[in-house]
Structure 1
Amino acid sequence: MRYLKNRKGFTLIEMMIVLVIISVLLLIAVPNLGKNQEMARSKGCEATIDLVSAQMIAYEIEKGQKVTDLSVLKPDYVDTLQCPDGTGLKLSNGKIVKDES
């Protein structure tokens, strides 16, 4: 019995306090992660549009003709004509936009 009294360790109350603190931190952190993912998807699409626009200009300089269909950029100028969220891109009035249809 004497051995059990001298043992150092956490009590049940201390463990419960730690679990409550961790739970509160998770409740604060998880909703913020969702917001950040949506912003990252949006920024990823903007970056893809900027990249395809730059490659379209490179095509026009190299070939000496305007791009009328984005498919001419694949595979030599771009690998994909989609945003990271799967939304396609299209050419509208000489600018690249998301294909919302």
Structure 2
Amino acid sequence: MRLLKNQKGFTLIEMLIVMLIITVLIAIAIPNVTKQTSAVDEKGCKAFVHMVQGQVESYRMDEKKVPTIAELVSGGYLKTDETTCPNGDAVEISTEGVVTSRAS
């Protein structure tokens, strides 16, 4: 009986307070994470467009013409799964050889 009286632990109120604090911190953190995800996707798309532009210039030097996306893939300049931006935007090549992205 004496052992039970000397044991210390957290009360239910203390545990509820800790859970409340954790919940508030999570509620603050989640919106910030979602904002950063869209910014990362946007920067990733800009980097992808820049990389495709480099591949277009490489193809133009090798073949002496402006390629299409299909010609870049078939020529080995792009992988088959690299035809859209990380955020889902479509990549287009103009007749002048300028690469742009547009929302699909």
TM-score for the superposition, normalised by structure 2: 0.83
Other structure's SS at 2:89 match:
coil
Alignment of 1:85 with 2:84, yes or no, is no
- The whole-number CA distance in structure 2 between the counterparts of 1:5 and 1:14 is 19
Superposition RMSD on alpha carbons, in Å? 1.7
Greater than 6 Å deviation, 4+ residue runs? none
Q: Which residue of 1 aligns with 2:97?
A: 94
Determine the structure 2 residue equivalent to 1:54. Answer: 54
- How big is the shift at 1:85? 2.4
**Residue 25 of structure 1, CA deviation:** 0.5
Give deviations 1:43-78, integer Å, cap 9, x for gaps: 111111011011111112222x13142221104001
Return the TM-score normalized by structure 1. 0.85
Give the count of matched residue pairs: 100
Structure 1 residue 84, shift from structure 2 partner: 1.5
Find the aligned partners of 1:100 and 1:12 in 2 and give their Cα distance.
Answer: 52
Fraction of identical pairs, as percent: 41
CA deviations 1:19-44 (Å, max 9, x no partner) are: 11101110110100110111111111
> Which residue in 2 is equivalent to 1:13?
13
Could you list the runs of 5+ residues in structure 2 that have no partner in the other structure?
Answer: none
Q: Which amino acid aligns with 2:7?
A: R
**2:56–2:67: 8 Å Cα contact kept in structure 1?**
no
Secondary structure of 1:74's counterpart equals helix
